[in-house]
């Protein structure tokens, strides 16, 4: 069974600084999707960024980028120029190509200090 | 992306009563919907997968007779918590989507007194 591990329950960053959230996963599949979701205090899940495993290029969305290391099964999220609105719980998630169910990590609570 | 709504957003009920939570896909044909449960400061745990027109598939440890799921149309799936108890108090979230993107409802906070 696939598992997703986020080893940082909490992280903090100063406004305008850069922070990296870690995620590792375990799978025997060669093709799959990886996601980072943000859950602010409203509890609404928001997609931050998506990576297809067959793509070697790391995904980037404005201030958010990933470091995808397929061999190491690592998928970290880098947030540049952190803003107060980035404060939230961040979940790493995995999905097989053939299915649509997501497997979530435990989450990392990010605090942004002014 | 698709819009998914949930109703109610909050519900408080007495122990022993049943509560129905609706999940609507407003602009997406949801052949499959997922129901999650989230305790405070924890991750989303998949409870069941509902498929339009057929029986839901429940995850291990989830009582299908307690958490009744109905997915009668492409726009509506319902989760009924039967004979609710305080330990059922939680945040329930539904989602639907494609293989590369899921759309989440805003969630329902259930409090059982």
Q: Output the pLDDT for position B44.
A: 95
Chain B nearest-CA residue for A99: B99
Q: Strands (DSSP E) along A1-114, which ranges?
A: 3-5, 10-14, 19-21, 24-26, 32-39, 46-52, 60-61, 64-69, 74-79, 88-96, 103-104, 108-113
CB-based contact, B102 to chain A, within 8 Å: yes
Residues in chain B with CB shorter than 8 Å from the CB of A102 are: 34, 44, 46, 95, 102
Q: Output the pLDDT for position A97.
A: 83
Give CB contacts under 8 A, 24+ apart, made by B40-49: B40/B91, B41/A89, B41/A107, B41/A109, B42/A106, B42/A107, B43/A91, B43/A104, B43/A105, B43/A106, B43/A107, B44/A45, B44/A91, B44/A102, B44/A104, B44/B93, B46/A101, B46/A102, B46/A103, B47/B79, B48/B79, B49/A101
**pLDDT-above-90 percentage for chain A:** 89
Q: Output the pLDDT for position B53.
A: 85
Mutate which of A100, A103, A110 to disrupt the B interface (most B C-beta within 10 Å)? A100
Asked whether the predicted pLDDT for residue B2 surpasses 90, the reply is: no
Between A30 and B35, the higher pLDDT residue: B35
Between A4 and B31, the higher pLDDT residue: A4
Q: Output the pLDDT for position A80.
A: 98
CB within 8 Å of chain B, chain A residues 44-83: 44-45, 47, 50, 52
**pLDDT-above-90 percentage for chain B:** 78
Does B44 sit within 8 Å of A43, measured CB to CB?
no
Contact B100, A33 (CB under 8 A): yes
Question: For residue A66, which of A28, A104, A37 has the smallest C-alpha distance?
Answer: A37
- A98 pLDDT band, cuts 50/70/90, is confident
CB-based contact, B49 to chain A, within 8 Å: yes
A16 min Cα distance to partner chain B (Å): 26
CB-based contact, A25 to chain B, within 8 Å: no
Listed range (A27-31, A106-110, B10-14, B90-94) with the worst mean pLDDT = A27-31
Q: What is the mean pLDDT of residues A10-30?
A: 96
- A 10 A CB-CB count for B63 gives 10
Q: Output the pLDDT for position A1.
A: 67
Q: What is the mean pLDDT of residues B61-83?
A: 94
Q: What is the mean pLDDT of residues A7-25?
A: 98
Across all residues in chain B, what is the average pLDDT?
93
Asked whether the predicted pLDDT for residue A37 surpasses 80, the reply is: yes
Asked whether the predicted pLDDT for residue B98 surpasses 90, the reply is: no
- A56 pLDDT band, cuts 50/70/90, is confident
Q: Output the pLDDT for position B99.
A: 73
- B59 pLDDT band, cuts 50/70/90, is very high
């Amino acid at each position: 069974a696939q598992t997703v591990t986020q080893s940082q329950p909490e992280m903090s960053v100063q406004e305008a600084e850069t922070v990296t959230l870690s995620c590792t996963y375990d799978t025997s599949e060669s093709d799959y999707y990886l996601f980072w979701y943000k859950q602010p205090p409203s509890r609404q899940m928001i997609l931050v960024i998506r990576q297809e495993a067959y793509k070697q290029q790391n995904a980037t969305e404005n201030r958010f980028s990933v470091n995808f290391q397929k061999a190491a099964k690592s998928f970290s999220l880098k947030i540049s120029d952190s803003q107060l609105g980035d404060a939230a719980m961040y979940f790493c998630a995995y999905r097989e190509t053939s299915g649509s169910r997501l497997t979530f990590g435990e989450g990392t609570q990010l605090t942004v200090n002014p | 992306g698709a819009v998914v709504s949930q109703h109610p957003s909050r519900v408080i009920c007495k122990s022993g009563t049943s509560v129905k939570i609706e999940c609507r896909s407003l602009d997406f044909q949801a052949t499959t919907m997922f129901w999650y449960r989230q305790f405070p400061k924890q991750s989303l745990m998949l409870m069941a997968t509902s498929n339009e027109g057929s029986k839901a598939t429940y995850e291990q440890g989830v009582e299908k007779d307690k958490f009744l799921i109905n997915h009668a149309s492409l726009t509506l799936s319902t989760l009924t918590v039967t004979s609710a108890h305080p330990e059922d108090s939680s945040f329930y979230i539904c989602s639907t989507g494609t293989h590369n993107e899921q759309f989440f409802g805003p969630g329902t906070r259930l409090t059982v007194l």
